Amino acid sequence: MLEPHPDPDAPDPVQRRAIVVEITIVLVVTFGLSGAAALLSLIEDAARPGGLADQQVALNPTRSLLPVIDLLRQLLGVLHLLGWAALGGYLLYCSGATLRSIGLDRLRARADLLAGLGLAALIGIPGLGLYLLSHQLGFSVTVVAAEPDAPWWRLPLLVLTAIANSVAEEVVVVAYLLTRLRHLGWSANRSLLASALLRGSYHLYQGVGGGLGNVVMGVIFGRYWQRTGRLWPLIGAHALIDCVAYLGYSLLRGRVGWLP
């Protein structure tokens, strides 16, 4: 069984157009436009002297020379991501979905935690290897996950950012998009491919390796949700992967030779 919930009745032409317009607006406002911007960044970096391997991208750059303004802008970025998640969740609610139907009902602590840890290991460990290999081959930029010599509040803020990222991506790219594409009558596999390609697109700023790795992540995460209907493990796994990347980079940069 690939879908956790029964398909709705086939929409009439007016409803179908409304769903298409809704999905288009959501993607333009959120991750679709980010995907287009990431593609432009990939092309620009590849065209620079030295190619992708000589370029750097900061995941969480300082946004002001004034620490207080930097902190406030970082917090606004977190609220921005949570706003995207709220938009996807609200539109799902308007379409008749509930927290239970998208897998955000009461947390099943043990089962969801174990599933999240398993997914994090399944994605995170090979993902690190893919990044290192693609960087060595010149297919990825150098990803600066956290800036050195940052003030003390940057570490808890990185954790908060990781959580906001995970909530926004899994609600919009998995729960919202897969549900609304199913409402259009798309098959499970076709919807899954669209979701995975979207996830890969807005990571292209990291290089080809980052894009491909996130397509694989999108396939695994999307299929898990289609089979189980549980979104909490995806949010937990994604947050853990990002936290390990941000905090691990802060601790290991300059101390190990294998980290670019």
pLDDT digits (tens, 9 = 90+) for 132-189: 899 888 888 888 877 777 788 888 999 999 999 999 999 999 999 999 999 999 999 9
Band (pLDDT 50/70/90 cuts) for residue 33 is very high
pLDDT digits (tens, 9 = 90+) for 43-101: 999 999 888 888 988 888 888 889 999 999 999 999 999 999 999 999 999 999 999 99
**Which residues have a Cβ under 8 Å from the Cβ of 93 and sit 6 or more positions away?**
none
Contact at 8 Å (CB) between 179 and 109?
no
CA distances from 86 to 49, 133, 170, 179, 206 (A): 41, 36, 12, 15, 27
Tokens of 17: 């157009």
Exposure class string for 124-153: b at 16+ Cβ within 10 A, else e: beebbebbeebbeebbbbbbbbbbeebeee
